[in-house]
Amino acid sequence: MLVGAVRRIRPKFMTIATMFLGLAPILWSSGAGAEMMKRIAARMVGGLATTFLMELIVYRVLYERWKMRTFGGRKLGSRGRRTPTSADSAFCLS
């Protein structure tokens, strides 16, 4: 899970930084109609920051908690299958 977050942080950050740089002139403008556009741009910047934090931190934590609850705290193998335990080997026919 951590590897996915690390691989995803750069493209996500670059996208949000580009959008913020595009909205920055609107936030600091003072011409005609700037009052209304500042309100819109401020909400968009706040939404971008919230999305960044939610996707990279909160969703990962919620997924880990859900996974632990669904699979009873057992670790999953590389393909999503449950890793065998010593109790499982007692039921194997050999």
Least confident of 19-28, 35-44, 77-86: 77-86
Can you tell me the distance from the alpha carbon of 2 to that of 21, in angstroms, rounded to the nearest whole number? 28
List, for residues 3-39, the tens digit of each pLDDT value. 666 777 788 889 999 999 999 999 898 888 888 899 9
What is the span of the domain harbouring residue 56?
2-68
13 falls within a domain: yes
- Of 74 and 27, which is predicted with more confidence? 27
36 falls within a domain: yes
> Number of folded domains in the chain?
1
12 falls within a domain: yes
